[in-house]
């Protein structure tokens, strides 16, 4: 009598699910935080991004890019309201094309900078987490299942 692999796995999972949950197993369940992200979490992520100066530079660059876009919108509106004989002059074309190129360049730079900063922050946080797990006592591995530790690395 041969059983298939899925039948065998179903039998194992049913046996595991039907085990009574002991007080010790219940205490080991991972607690999940719900609701608003705490300020210390944002602060830790900001420090992983590069600190206060990097955050300040990033927000200033973001503000400059958005301001440039707003000025471009205003200038296009002014160009549209200008008399039709002056709309085809090189003055308006140079202003609109120059500002459009500047906004596009700033936007691309901002996107690349954001990508780079976020990837580096993720690497730093991952490395810090790995160092703390590798340097933890054996008791940590005895009380926490390996799957939970691996899930932390893949989810966070």
pLDDT in tens, 91-108: 888 999 999 999 999 999
> How high is the pLDDT of residue 109?
96
68: number of CA atoms within 13 Å, CB side? 20
- For residue 6, the model assigns a pLDDT of 42
On whether the CB atoms of residues 52 and 46 are closer than 8 A, the answer is yes
- Is the pLDDT reported for residue 14 higher than 60? no
Give the Cβ contact number of residue 103 at 10 Å. 19
Please tell me the predicted confidence (pLDDT) of residue 30. Answer: 53
Quick one: pLDDT at residue 134?
85
The two structure tokens encoding residue 116: 């780079």
Average pLDDT, the chain: 80
- CA-wise closest residue to 49 among 128, 152, 123, 130: 123
- What are the residue ranges spanned by the domains of the chain? 51-155
pTM above 0.85, yes or no: no
The string of pLDDT tens digits covering residues 43-68 is 888 888 888 899 899 999 999 999 99
């Amino acid at each position: 009598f041969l059983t298939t692999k899925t039948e065998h796995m179903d039998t194992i999972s049913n046996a595991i699910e039907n085990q009574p949950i002991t007080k010790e197993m219940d205490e080991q369940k991972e607690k999940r935080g719900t609701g608003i992200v705490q300020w210390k979490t944002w602060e830790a992520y900001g420090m992983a991004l590069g600190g206060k100066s990097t955050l300040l530079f990033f927000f200033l660059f973001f503000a400059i890019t958005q301001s440039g876009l707003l000025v471009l919108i205003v200038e296009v509106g002014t160009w549209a309201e200008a008399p039709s004989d002056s709309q085809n002059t090189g003055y308006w074309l140079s202003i609109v094309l120059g500002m459009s190129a500047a906004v596009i360049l700033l936007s691309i730079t901002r996107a690349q900078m954001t990508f780079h900063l976020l990837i580096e922050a993720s690497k730093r946080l991952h490395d810090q987490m790995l160092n703390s797990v590798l340097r933890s006592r054996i008791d940590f591995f005895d009380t926490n299942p390996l799957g939970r530790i691996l899930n932390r690395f893949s989810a966070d």
